[in-house]
Structure 1
Amino acid sequence: MSRISREDMRSLLQVYFIAGSVNCRRSPADTLSAAAAGGITLFQFREKGAGALTGSARLELGAQLRHICRGHSIPFIVNDDLELALALDADGVHAGQDDLPAAEIRQRLGGQKIIGVSAHNLAEAQQAIADGADYLGIGPVYPTSSKEDAEAVQGTAVIEQLRSSGLQIPLVGIGGITLDNALPVLKAGADGISVISAIAGAADIAAAAGNFRRLMT
């Protein structure tokens, strides 16, 4: 299999749902199933924070969520943990700036898997591209309570800077994005939006995912 094309990657980033057990009001499986039914295009398993599962419990949950993704033809991405991604035969890995570089992840995962990297400025973006990233996660765009280790809020400035510099790599905005504030992120040049709380914490998860999906059309 060959590496994913940029156009296919742009489509997958439209409604990028990120969640783990600590983010969900309902069970993670029910939450993901409802989000998938609503129209999410990509899922990242991020099992972090106070009370997060570890060891075999985390592996078991990951396998359950991967199975749901496969049933809906939604790529399953693992946050940060290359060994977990390999154990689950995930479709890719998303790495932060303090994690393994994309080049090393690519060497272990192979050419057909998806690799995303968080970037907060032009230099980090250029390095991630040189290392073989398929997409960049840019943020936090707005204030967020979903990530305890979030960087300083940057608005849409970094997305605009990357696009004005001529970078063509697919970009997804992340951090505090809701239905009400998503459009400026897309207008700044992002191909899609990453969402945790606005879907996982919604009273009607499928409807929330569907509303984000409609925003992309």
Structure 2
Amino acid sequence: MLFKNGMLRCYLIGGSQDTHHDPDEFLTKVEAAMQAGITAFQYREKGTSTLSKAETLALGQQVRELATKYGVPLFVDDDLELAAAIKADGIHVGQKDQRIEEVLAAVSDQLMVGYSCNTAAQVAHANQLNVDYIGTGPVFPTISKDDAGSALGVDGLADFVEQSAHPVVAIGGISLDNVGATLTSGCAGLSMISMVLGADDVAGTVKKILELY
């Protein structure tokens, strides 16, 4: 699958840890989000996840089936073995994960590659790499990722967008109240976790995000 900037418009990230450690609730909400029009999904079984490796794979295979059914590009967070096993379309690499150069060499253009960049120096480094997009944040304070740094704010995000040679997807503390302001940064899209997976009305939330473009 070839990367397109439009994949970043409404980019959902999550795992069972984001739905009360309930895989069934997770799948139900992911399917609702895909039906409603998310433009990409990143399977991220991490942090407080309590799933075993086998359970993570089994859940990932179910996510793959949903992504195929709804035509949603599927990324895997920081796990080349898992990405290959579930035939993901892409992989996302964080600053604390496997070295980005090693990942790029391993995938050899077979997978789309995203890369987390949270400082100007990291963005400058990414500019020298053949990645498809960078994820930048947190834009606002967030509780979804326990390793998130200080909030950049919209102005900080805009600086990174201007500096980056790659399309930028914003992450961290995104809500319906700040979507409009975030988009003024020039970012290619928005990624979210709790905003969608923590919502009572997943489909309605996704549709509202898309309407704000």
TM range (shorter): over 0.9
1:50 CA drift (Å): 2.1
- Return the match for 2:129 from 128, 131, 153: 131
Amino acid at match of 1:78: V
Distance 1:29 1:163 in 2: 33
* Alignment: residue pair count: 210
**2:155 corresponds to:** 157
Look up the SS of the partner of 1:179 in the other structure: coil
Question: What fraction of aligned residue pairs are identical, expressed as a percent?
Answer: 37
Gaps of 5+ in 1: none
Please give the residue correspondences for 1:8-87 in structure 2 after superposition, counting only pairs within 5 Å.
8=4, 10-24=5-19, 27-87=25-85
Alpha-carbon distance change, 103 to 208 in structure 1, aligned in 2, over 3 angstroms: same
Please give the residue correspondences for 1:91-130 in structure 2 after superposition, counting only pairs within 5 Å.
91-130=89-128
Contact 1:156/1:188 (CA < 8 Å) preserved in 2? yes
Look up the SS of the partner of 1:207 in the other structure: helix
Distance 2:61 2:192 in 1: 21
Amino acid at match of 2:212: L
**1:204 corresponds to:** 201
Look up the SS of the partner of 1:130 in the other structure: coil
Q: Does 1:182 align with 2:179?
A: yes
Distance 1:188 1:27 in 2: 34
**2:168 corresponds to:** 171
Alpha-carbon distance change, 100 to 49 in structure 1, aligned in 2, over 3 angstroms: closer
Distance 1:163 1:48 in 2: 27
- Alpha-carbon displacement from aligned partner over 1:113-143 (angstroms, at most 9, x marks no partner): 2111110122201212322111010100111
Contact 2:133/2:168 (CA < 8 Å) preserved in 1? yes
Amino acid at match of 2:156: V
1:159 CA drift (Å): 2.2
Look up the SS of the partner of 2:127 in the other structure: helix
1:36 CA drift (Å): 0.6
Distance 1:51 1:94 in 2: 18
Amino acid at match of 1:130: Q
- Alpha-carbon displacement from aligned partner over 1:31-79 (angstroms, at most 9, x marks no partner): 1110011110000001112243121000000110011011111111011
Contact 1:120/1:158 (CA < 8 Å) preserved in 2? no
Look up the SS of the partner of 1:145 in the other structure: coil
Contact 1:135/1:172 (CA < 8 Å) preserved in 2? yes
1:190 CA drift (Å): 0.8
Q: TM-score, normalised by structure 2?
A: 0.92
Contact 1:34/1:206 (CA < 8 Å) preserved in 2? yes
Amino acid at match of 2:19: C
The CA RMSD over aligned residues, in Å, is 1.6
